[in-house]
Each structure stands twice: as C-alpha cells, then as structure tokens.
Amino acid sequence: MKRFVLICLISTSAFAQITFLQELRPFVEKNISTSLADKIWGEKDEVELPAIPIVKKDAKDLSVYSKKEYKSPFTKEQMSQYNLSFINELIKATRELDANRDELSKWYATLEQGGTREGVYRSLVLSQYYQRLENYNQQTSKAAKEVTVTIFKKYLNKDLDIKKLDQLNIYSVKRILVENSIDVQDTLLAKSQDEFARWYAVYSAELANAFPIWNSKLRSAKESGVHYRWAMKMTPDVVKSEFILKTHLLFNRLQKKQ
C-alpha cells in the first residue's frame, strides 16, 4: 500500500513538473530568447499567417471560383459516413438543435449527388428558419462581440466597431463572420492552397490555445503545423466546413458567457 502511494506521489510530481516546464516556455521566449526555448523544448511546429488579401467584389472576377480539382483522401464509403456526421453536427451547431431524420436525409442526398458542404451551410443560414433565429430579440454576449472584433482585425484585416454588433444577435454575428471569412479563404485559395491552408491553420491553432472546449484531438491541437498538414491533405470544401463548424461551436459557447 505504501509503495502504491509512493508511486502515485512520484507520478503526480512528474506530471506537475512537465506542466510547469510547458507553462515556463512563453516566459523564456518573452524574457530571454526563442532560440534558448527551442534548445530546451525543441522547435515549435508552426506556420505563419499569410498576408490578408483584399477581397474583390467585382462580379466579373471569377478567379476565386477556380475549377482546380482536389483529390479527397477518403474512399467513397468513408466520405459518405463523414458527410452524414458533418450534416448532423452542422445543423446542431447552426441551430443548436438536433437534426431530424428528414433533414439528415435531404442534405445527405445533396452531398452524395455532388453538392458541396459550403453550399449546404449557405442554404441553412439563408433559410426562413435561420432568418427567424436572426430576428430573436437577444443581444450578443460581450465575450462573443470582443472575439468577433479580434477575428475581423487579425484574419480579415478589417477594423470593426464593436458598437455595430449591439444591434445583432448571435445568429447574425456568426453568419456574417463566416461569410466574410470564406470570402478571404476563397481569395487566398485562388493564389495557392498553401496560403489557404496556413490561414486556416493559424486560426485553428489560436482557437485551440485560447478556448479549451474541443472534443477531438485534432481540434485541440495547439500547434498550427498540425492543422496545416491536415488542411493540405483535405479538399478545400472539407477545410472550409471544419472552419464553419468550429466557428459556430465557439460562438455558441461564447454566447453563454452573458
């Protein structure tokens, strides 16, 4: 029994030491040097955020709608299961209600027939149901508004007056943020998949570091390199769909911080 207790104490102590060392890295980087931190902990698995482009709204500019083909890493059967899981999570994330069987069947058939995940999302947020949600008389939480302003500045290169969000409820804020972000993603993708993936990767890593709410290993990954390699393997539609889900899930949680 004493031996068991001793092993537990040693294990706890070791865990505490590891946690302490991990938390010490930012202090060393800030006050001493990043090179010393790299020698102690190893180089970070990170990528840099690309320059945020100016989004063109010229109807004649079709460059963002490039028809380049991207190969999916999934078999047809795997993609079918993934699509079903996506639709279920998407409806719950956008409406905060479980999907019914009819909706699952409808949108699943849409994807199986060649529709895009982005297209399904846009259909959901432009539906009469979602419009009714946007008309609810409920203020967006302070936490959600602050994060919105931060994302607009860093990832969209737009200065947003936080007071402009006072008249919008959380459903409107989520839709507007996602729509503007996808415009930037499409513009980056027209330049290169690398820049598109780096934007997504840095965004995802920041969410993982700032908000420990994720229920999957990938979404919880705190180094942008992990998200970058995943994004480079996936089709852009899958990457954008993951961005959509994470953004809605985050803001659902932020809204509860009233």
**Half-sphere exposure at residue 137, Cβ-oriented, CA atoms within 13 angstroms:** 0
Regions of the chain with pLDDT less than 50: 1-22, 41, 59-60, 62, 64-65
Task: Look at residue 43 in the predicted model and tell me its pLDDT.
Answer: 57
Task: Look at residue 235 in the predicted model and tell me its pLDDT.
Answer: 96
Q: Of 118, 122, 145, 134, give the one whose Cα is nearest residue 171.
A: 134
How long a stretch of residues is the chain?
A: 258
Task: Look at residue 6 in the predicted model and tell me its pLDDT.
Answer: 34
**Half-sphere exposure at residue 185, Cβ-oriented, CA atoms within 13 angstroms:** 25
Looking at residue 221, its amino acid is A
Give pTM, 2 decimals.
0.81
Task: Look at residue 7 in the predicted model and tell me its pLDDT.
Answer: 34
Task: Look at residue 62 in the predicted model and tell me its pLDDT.
Answer: 46
CA distance 207 to 214: 9
- What is the DSSP annotation of 163-229? GGGTT--HHHHHHHHHHHHHHHHHHHHHH-HHHHHHHHHHHHHHHHHH-----SHHHH--SHHHHHH
CA distance 145 to 116: 29
CA distance 132 to 71: 38
Tokens 């297209």 found at: 119
Please name the residue ranges forming H helices in the chain.
2-31, 34-41, 76-95, 101-112, 117-125, 128-134, 142-155, 170-191, 193-210, 217-220, 224-233, 236-255
- How far the first Cα of the chain sits from its last, in Å, is 48
Task: Look at residue 35 in the predicted model and tell me its pLDDT.
Answer: 65
